[in-house]
Amino acid sequence: MIGKVFTPEKWRHAEFFYHTGVMSLLLLAVVCLLFLCIFLLYVKSHKGRSLAIFGGMLLMCGVVYLVGNSYYGAYYTYMPDVQPNIRDRERAFIGYKYYDGATMTAYTHIQNIAGIEKLGIYEAKPVEREIEYLGYAYGSVYFKVGAQQYYLRTTPEFQENATAKLIGVQYHLKASAAGFKQLGFFSETNNFLTKVVLPMSEKSVVYEQKDGKMSKDFTVNQNEWAANK
């Protein structure tokens, strides 16, 4: 878990190392190789000293990378799971690049539950929202959230004496990981859908389109639910 391997400060240093330091080392190594080739091919005097200098710099680049990678290597285990649904920025070569609104909105429907739990800095809290069940057809559940009508390709869970509702989780940053908030990690995430619960009494209800109303695909249009509005 990221919380056991990285403090917020170490995570920040790891980002700097891989996104700025390694690129700088690579650039320096290329320059050293270029000069080594020039001295080997075109310079006749003081060749040994020049080769030693640039060869030493090249060796230094390799040593710095190996030491840094040994210390920060776990970064790439967790980095793919740090997505715009839990953080508002990403590390660039210089500083941070903030995600735009379109990117943040697009990630409201990304169900990265396993990845978030792997990080270990968030705790899950159950959330639910009642829906108006319209019926089942074409392998999809049809329902309304507020005034909007949706369909979702899923197998609902029918329960006795239940109300129609969406069941999910919302993740909250643990108190022990509060420092990650300074790095752009959200203190609370969107709602993540885990299942649709429906009353057993409505198991046989079949959806029929009425008044020409079109249903939106809930998978990519769940902002109202995901943002917990």
Strand partners for 199: 159
At 44 the pLDDT is 65
Query: What's the chain's average pLDDT?
Result: 89
% of the chain at pLDDT higher than 70: 95
Q: How far apart are CA 225 and CA 168, in angstroms?
A: 10
% of the chain at pLDDT higher than 90: 67
Of the candidates 223, 2, 188, 1, the residue with the CA atom closest to the CA atom of residue 110: 223
Q: What is the pTM of this model?
A: 0.81
At 43 the pLDDT is 63
Q: What is the pLDDT of residues 5-59, one digit of tens each?
A: 899 999 999 999 999 999 999 999 998 888 878 777 766 666 667 777 878 888 8
Token pair 């649904």: residue: 85
At 46 the pLDDT is 61
Q: Kindly indicate the confidence band of residue 165, based on its pLDDT and cuts at 50, 70 and 90.
A: very high
Of 117-131, 135-149, 163-177, 206-220, the poorest mean pLDDT is in 206-220
CB under 8 Å to 102, separation ≥6 — which residues?
Answer: none
Mean pLDDT value of segment 187-215: 90
Strand partners for 158: 198
Q: How far apart are CA 128 and CA 196, in angstroms?
A: 10
At 93 the pLDDT is 95
Residue boundaries of the structural domains of the chain: 2-80, 89-226
